Amino acid sequence: MTFTTKKKYCYFKENGITFVDYKDVKLLRRFVTDQGKIIPRRVTGSSAKIHRQLVRAIKQSRNIALMPFTNVSVDG
C-alpha cells in the first residue's frame, strides 16, 4: 500500500509575491479556516519567511475589522 501526498508548494513563491499586504483580504482568506483561524505552515506549505509576514498581516487585518477574529455563529 502506497501513500501519495499532493506536493505542497508556497503560494507566494509560485506567484512571485514578496510582500504580504494586510489590506488584501481576498488573498489572506486563503490562509484562514472558515472559522477564521490561521492555517499552520505545515498545511499551507508556505515558506517560513512568508508565513511570518502572513501571520502579522492577518492579525493587522483583524485589528481593523477587515477580517474576523472568529466566525463562529451562535444561535439564539
Residues facing 32 on adjacent strands: 38
Q: Does 74 bind other proteins (CB under 8 A)?
A: no
Q: Does 66 bind other proteins (CB under 8 A)?
A: yes
What's the closest the beta carbon of residue 42 comes to other proteins, in angstroms? 26
Question: Please, which residue, 4 or 18, has the CB nearer to other proteins?
Answer: 18
Could you list the residues that contact other proteins (CB under 8 A)?
Answer: 19, 22-23, 25-26, 60, 62-69
